[in-house]
Structure 1
């Protein structure tokens, strides 16, 4: 799927991919010990358990449940979302996994970023969980390509710092995928997902004359 092909007609093709990622995440959560669930993830200050709560939260509650949290957060939506994720994360891990399976085909469609954003959120947060635990990524190549197209297609609001990636060419060596023009940043699809979404952990895995440029744009 090429960047720029992200329209409403194509978006519905993503629903089976999203369902598969939710089921895959459910299997992952079911496999984790209490200590693993309480391990810090790659996503800010969230634990693995809280990342799971974030992925479950839009599937199990009414949108109106978020409103009081938004008000108490001073209408900062990202803060309210984080608090909701933390609330949902208090549920037993088996319940979180069961909710992902039960609602795997839920048509939750985030504003602005749509189903492309939902698919990408699931894959990146899966890496946020797996990386600190030393677990293999086990990513599906077609889903990764779809998310990389989204992340480099100009519509990934809230996912990509566009100033950081401007004027660079990104190449996923294991997928035959590339996007952009300029100094090259080259690595696996996994490393591309992490880097484009602001996870600095993958920088040492990248090659090319654009890596120094990219690293220099990261906050010190």
Structure 2
């Protein structure tokens, strides 16, 4: 799935004109071109870069991503897409988390590119499942989820997936995944008593200091991963 998504993204970016590439994406501060640059930053020596970010930046992954992406974004888009294809089979993973957060990341950035440009896609359900499960169960530190989903029950009306307990947030899986990841564009298609709370948390995420970021990293290293988070089970689970 990862290889297919990387190659598909390369094809998508190669088909865009200069104006489209300069369009602001759903990721604040990044253009569509920048999204492509971000997606190649960890394909080589990815775990080393992550460990370097933990040590040198107190696990401030937002800063790490900004710096690595700004450097890669100096390249023209054709060079970025060539590298995305060349390294599409990269097996770099998030330490202790496997491939799921990597697939979730490229899936979310696919939305970041397509939605502002009005490009439609029928997202494969098995890939949505991986993103839903990863964000709901135990997201890796780079996602800065914090307590965003605490006290909420997430229900996907089109697939039957559900997670959590508390005030209900209900809607199609695609909109749920967008909102769960902090993308406000998904909120308007959701309903339920928990939507106002989720909207508030997405709009005003609490600041995360160095100590809190490091605690999150330690928790990921120490705690075992949930048994159902592995992508190899994705085809059966939906």
Structure 1 residues 30 and 149: alpha-carbon distance in aligned structure 2, compared to 1, 3 A threshold:
same
Q: Is the 8 A contact 1:60 1:99 kept in 2?
A: no
Alignment check: 8 A CA contact 2:167 2:193 kept: yes
Q: Decide which of 29, 40, 43 is 1:45's aligned counterpart.
A: 29
Relative to 1, partners in 2 of residues 1:169 and 1:40: Cα closer, same or farther, differing over 3 Å? same
Residue segments in structure 1 that go unaligned for 5+ positions in a row: 1-16
Cα RMSD (Å): 2.7
- Structure 1 residue aligned with 2:64: 80
1:123-174 CA-to-partner distances (Å, cap 9, x unmatched) read 0011111111111143111011111111111243332524221111112222
Aligned to 1:91: 75
Could you list the runs of 4 or more consecutive aligned residues of structure 1 that deviate by over 6 angstroms after TM superposition? Answer: 61-75
Report the CA distance shift for 1:71/1:179 in structure 2 as closer, same or farther (over 3 A). Answer: closer
Q: Is the 8 A contact 2:61 2:142 kept in 1?
A: no
Aligned counterpart, 1:130: 114
Deviation at 1:90? 2.0
In 1, distance between residues paired with 2:52 and 2:139? 29
The normalised TM-score by structure 2 is 0.75
Moved more, 100-109 or 65-74: 65-74
The Cα shift of 1:54 comes to 0.5
Check conservation: 1:40, 1:48, Cα contact below 8 A. yes
Mapped to 2, the partners of 1:66 and 1:149 lie a distance apart of 23
SS of the counterpart of 1:108?
A: coil
Counterparts in 2 of 1:98 and 1:161: CA distance versus 1, 3 Å: same
Please state whether the residue corresponding to 2:99 is helix, strand or coil. Answer: helix
- Cα distance per residue 1:155-198 (max 9 Å; x no partner): 43332524221111112222221112222211222211211111
Answer yes or no: is the 8 Å Cα contact 1:160–1:196 preserved in 2.
Answer: no
Tell me which of 193, 198, 203 is aligned to 1:209.
Answer: 193
Q: Provide the residue aligned with 2:2 in structure 1.
A: 18
Cα pair 1:172 1:189 within 8 Å, conserved:
yes
Partner residue, 1:105: 89
Q: Distance in 2 between matches of 1:94 and 1:136?
A: 23
What is the rounded CA distance, in whole Å, between the counterparts of 1:167 and 1:71 in structure 2?
32
Q: 1:17-41 CA deviation, whole Å, 9 max, x = no partner?
A: 1111111111111111111111111
CA–CA separation in structure 2 for the residues paired with 1:183 and 1:121: 27
Q: Over residues 67-100 of structure 1, what are the superposed CA-to-partner deviations in whole Å (9 max), with x where a residue is unaligned?
A: 9999997884532331221221222212222222
Aligned counterpart, 2:160:
176
Quick check: 1:49–1:89 contact (8 Å CA) kept in 2?
Answer: yes
CA apart distance, 1:111: 2.5
Q: Secondary structure at the match of 2:25?
A: coil
Instruction: Give the gaps of 5 or more residues in structure 2.
Output: 205-238
Checking the alignment, whether the CA contact within 8 Å between 1:37 and 1:48 is kept in structure 2 is yes
SS of residue matched to 1:165: coil
